[in-house]
Amino acid sequence: MLSPAQRQRWHDEGCLVLPGFKPEAELAALRRRSLAIVEASEPAAVFSTVERSRLADAALLASATAVHCFFEEEAVDAQGHLTVPKARAVNKIGHALHDRDPVFDRFSRDPRLAGLVHELGVAEPRLWQSMLIFKQPRIGGEVTWHQDASFLATEPDDSVVGLWFALEEATLDNGCLWIEPGGHRGPLRERYVNDGGTLRMLPLDTTPWPEAERTRALPVPAGTLVVLHGRLPHASAPNRSGVSRMAYTLHVTDGRMRYAPNNWLQRGADFPVRGF
Ligand code: FE2
């Protein structure tokens, strides 16, 4: 499926951009289903990548095996009430959409994705995590520089691959992805671990996040699949535009590697991780 040039790019840059990977009908089905999930949910927890409280920890841990809606900090007042309609207040849904929801299951278990990650070296795919990221107009929050392997570490090698689907056009104005091309060859800076029930970021390496001149924006049309190496530094800016930037992400590790037992996201024997 991948051309020699695409394989070279994956090797050199740790990122692949595949426009037109998903047809509009599938994107629309996912957008519709996402809004239905939000409408049926009860706002309960606030998600912020800047500050993670103990309350948010409990909601995050529970979401590992569930379909949970996280709401924007700026959309909830001091009493915990939403200040904008629910559909405009949600930050994301996570983290077991692909196993708990039939629409997301179908979208995620696409044989072409199985073929793609196999070509990238993932011999025994394990679908640990899915997220629907809304990036709302005006209030869609920043996602600071990070590496996905910080959250889904495997040993002895990092094996996680991120599959990022643009459900709507992503632009410089509405908070498209930014990457550091080639940065996947650098070290893993930190790990987000469950330390006896407390979630915390563990520093590993002091290599700074990239200066602006080493980064590249990835504005892409709806339907594009962006594939991210687990150690590739990436980020996205806040959305200050008037349009949303919905994206769906799926994170896959290689079952030949040991999934770190202190990763924040775990599953019990009653709900084992599966492949495609
Ligand atoms: Fe990420």
Domain edges within the chain: 9-254
What is the average pLDDT across 219-233?
98
Task: State the Cα–Cα distance between residues 231 and 177, nearest whole angstrom.
Answer: 15
CA of 177 to the centre of ligand 1 (A): 9
What is the average pLDDT across 34-48?
77
Cα distances from 185 to residues 209, 228, 259, in angstroms, run 13, 13, 21
β-pairing verdict for 234-236 and 143-146: antiparallel
% of the chain exceeding 90 in pLDDT: 82
25 has pLDDT over 50: yes
CA of 79 to the centre of ligand 1 (A): 31
Contacts of residue 249, defined as CB under 8 A and 6 or more positions apart, other chains included, come to 129, 130, 131, 133, 162, 163, 164, 165
Q: What is the pLDDT of residue 51?
A: 47
Q: What is the pLDDT of residue 204?
A: 98
Check: CB of residue 177 under 8 Å from CB of residue 164. Answer: yes
Residues in the chain: 276
Least confident of 37-51, 91-105, 191-205: 37-51
Q: What is the pLDDT of residue 54?
A: 67
Q: What is the pLDDT of residue 44?
A: 55
When the pLDDT of each residue in the chain is averaged and rounded to a whole number, the result is 93
Q: Coil, strand or helix: which one is 55?
A: helix
Task: State the Cα–Cα distance between residues 258 and 20, nearest whole angstrom.
Answer: 34
Q: What is the pLDDT of residue 76?
A: 73
Per-residue confidence band for 37, with pLDDT thresholds at 50, 70 and 90: very high
What is the average pLDDT across 117-126?
98
The b/e string for 3-14 (b: 16+ C-beta within 10 A; e otherwise) is eeebeebbeebb
For 151-193, how does the pLDDT look when each residue is reduced to its tens digit (9 = 90+)?
999 999 999 999 999 999 999 999 999 999 999 999 999 999 9
CA of 74 to the centre of ligand 1 (A): 21
DSSP H helices in the chain: 4-13, 24-39, 54-63, 86-89, 97-100, 102-108, 111-119
Q: What is the pLDDT of residue 50?
A: 47
Q: Coil, strand or helix: which one is 164?
A: strand
Torsion on CA atoms 192, 220, 131, 82, rounded to nearest 10: 100
Residue showing tokens 């991210």: 228
What 8-state DSSP symbol labels residue 142? Answer: P
Task: State the Cα–Cα distance between residues 173 and 241, nearest whole angstrom.
Answer: 6
What is the average pLDDT across 48-74?
78
Q: What is the pLDDT of residue 52?
A: 46
**pTM for this one?**
0.94
Task: State the Cα–Cα distance between residues 57 and 60, nearest whole angstrom.
Answer: 5
CA of 6 to the centre of ligand 1 (A): 21
Task: State the Cα–Cα distance between residues 115 and 117, nearest whole angstrom.
Answer: 6
Query: Which residues sit with Cβ closer than 5 angstroms to ligand 1, an ion?
Result: 148
What 8-state DSSP symbol labels residue 183? Answer: G
CA of 159 to the centre of ligand 1 (A): 14
What 8-state DSSP symbol labels residue 212? Answer: G
What is the average pLDDT across 136-143?
89
% of the chain exceeding 70 in pLDDT: 94
What is the average pLDDT across 237-257?
96
Task: State the Cα–Cα distance between residues 176 and 236, nearest whole angstrom.
Answer: 6
- Supply φ then ψ for residue 222, to 5 degrees: -55, 145
Query: Which class in CATH covers the domain with range 9-254?
Result: mainly beta
CA of 234 to the centre of ligand 1 (A): 6
